[in-house]
Amino acid sequence: MEHRRRRREPPKTLEDARAIVQAIAKRQVENDRWVKMWRFCKQVVYLFALVGAYLLYYLIGTINEALSLLN
């Protein structure tokens, strides 16, 4: 099952354009499914970046300590 957005034709009259603008203005963006998915993906990426930075910090400290023991 494939979900595709239908390509919209440009409005032919000023009233059509005004109706489209009003419909967009009434839409609640915070509750949009795509916005929720994007926000979740962004939070997951931030979490991985934070964990990765912490692991790199720990790994560099461990390597530094191991190399200082050799001298």
Tokens of 70: 């050799």
Query: Is residue 19 included in any domain, yes or no?
Result: no
Q: Is the pLDDT of residue 26 over 60?
A: yes
- Band of pLDDT at residue 64, cut at 50, 70 and 90: very high
Q: Looking at the 3D structure of the chain, how many domains does it have?
A: 1
Confirm whether 3 is domain-assigned.
no
Residue 52 domain-assigned (yes or no): yes
Q: Does residue 69 sit within a domain?
A: yes
Confidence at 57, pLDDT banded by 50, 70, 90: very high
pTM higher than 0.75: no
Tokens 């200082």 belong to 68
d(CA 1, CA 7): 18
In a domain, 10, yes or no: no
pLDDT of 39 strictly over 80: yes
Nearest 5°: CA angle at 13, between 23 and 20? 10
Domain of 66 in residue numbering reads as 45-71
In a domain, 34, yes or no: no
